[in-house]
Amino acid sequence: MLSEGGSEKTMAERPQTLSTYSRTKGKRKIVPDVGLLDDDESSDSYLRASTDDVETPDDLDIPDDIDENALGELEWENDTPVRTPDDCEPIEEYSEEEERNDARHWKTVRLGDRQFRIDLKVIEPYKKVLSHGGYYGDGLNAIILFSGCYLPDRRRKDYHYVMDNLFYYVVHTLEQLVAEDYMIIYFHGATPKKQMPSFSWMKKCYQMIDRRLRKNLKALLLVHPTIWLKTIVMMTRPFISSKFSAKLRFVRTLDDLARLVPMEYVYVPDQVQAYDDHLMNRPNPSKPPSSP
């Protein structure tokens, strides 16, 4: 127990604020030991002496395994959404057989001095546009049939891609089929307007056909011509040669075609045959009906 006098003395000596304490307590000037910054033997010996006295423990007390329960709130929460097997779409296996089939869907051909790859899968529904119609005259004068009713629809988003690959296929097939002179029969009848080839496409075909194929072509018969087809032919005359223009010939009906070429091996599509039957049964008002 402190006496009343002693307690009052203690209370009087106790500082009330920081400013009071700073006035009663003097500042102490610290002088740095400049010798520690010298690179002489005395400084090195001082450092060695100070560090040699420190004992290194033989074994650090660090546990090998950490108890996860002891971490408590230090555990990280995984906010990644977990997908159930029902949410995941199964990935189909790509077998070796499928890989071989896909490789067969492409064919590399050379047209002139350029090389092209034909997408056989995309033109598969349109391969019937070109067929062989036998031979005419003496020798190997081939008859090539081109049916417009088998052309793709121009409303397709990949129409130009399909037509380019179809053109490469047609020209390559012509080079394989044609040995000497040949004739092309184009069935224009029964071709819907949405499937008729564009003028630019036909111009491109003419320009890319090899000179040998253009020279050996003896005739291009246009069966069932319409006003649209006759207009296109007139538009093509400025950029085709006069010799090639002389090979074009309009054929009104299949009967007229039979008078020009042998029809034994000429395959006429059903649509073209139906169009021809309709054309033959339609009366012509400008010509009086023939007597029985």
Better-scored residue on pLDDT, 196 or 32: 196
Q: How confident is the model at residue 225, as a pLDDT?
A: 93
Q: Is the pLDDT of residue 65 over 60?
A: no
- Higher-confidence residue of 59 and 165: namely 165
Task: Label residues 63-72 b or e (16+ Cβ within 10 Å = b).
Answer: eeeeeeeeee
Q: Check residues 57 and 276 and name the one with the higher pLDDT.
A: 276
Q: Quick one: pLDDT at residue 250?
A: 95
Task: Check residue 139 and give its pLDDT.
Answer: 72
Which two three-digit tokens encode residue 120?
Answer: 């056989």
Average pLDDT over residues 215-243: 88
Question: Which secondary-structure segment (H or E) carries 5?
Answer: helix 4-13
Residues sharing a CB contact under 8 Å with residue 205, sequence separation 6 or more, in sequence order: 167, 170, 171
pLDDT at 102: 56
Instruction: Please name the residue ranges forming H helices in 14-158.
Output: 18-24, 41-52, 96-103
pLDDT for the residue 290:
43
Which residue, among 101, 116, 105, 100, has the nearest Cα to 165 in the 3D structure? 116
**So what's the pLDDT on residue 260?**
92
**Other beta carbons less than 10 A from residue 35's beta carbon:** 10
The model's pTM is: 0.60
| Residue appearing with tokens 């090899």 | 210
Residue (of 187, 189, 169) closest to 177 by Cα position:
169
pLDDT score recorded for residue 291: 36
Closest to 191 in 3D by CA, of 118, 268, 275, 260: 275
Determine what percent of the chain is predicted with pLDDT higher than 70: 60
* 142 and 164 Cβ atoms separated by less than 8 Å: no
**Considering only CA atoms, which of 234, 221, 233, 156 is closest in space to residue 189?**
221
Span 96-101, average pLDDT: 56
The backbone region for 257, taken as left when phi is positive above 0, alpha when psi lies in -120 to 50, beta otherwise, is alpha
Cα gap 288→107, rounded to integer Å = 55
pLDDT over 50 (residue 255): yes
Highest mean pLDDT among 84-88, 113-117, 118-122: 118-122
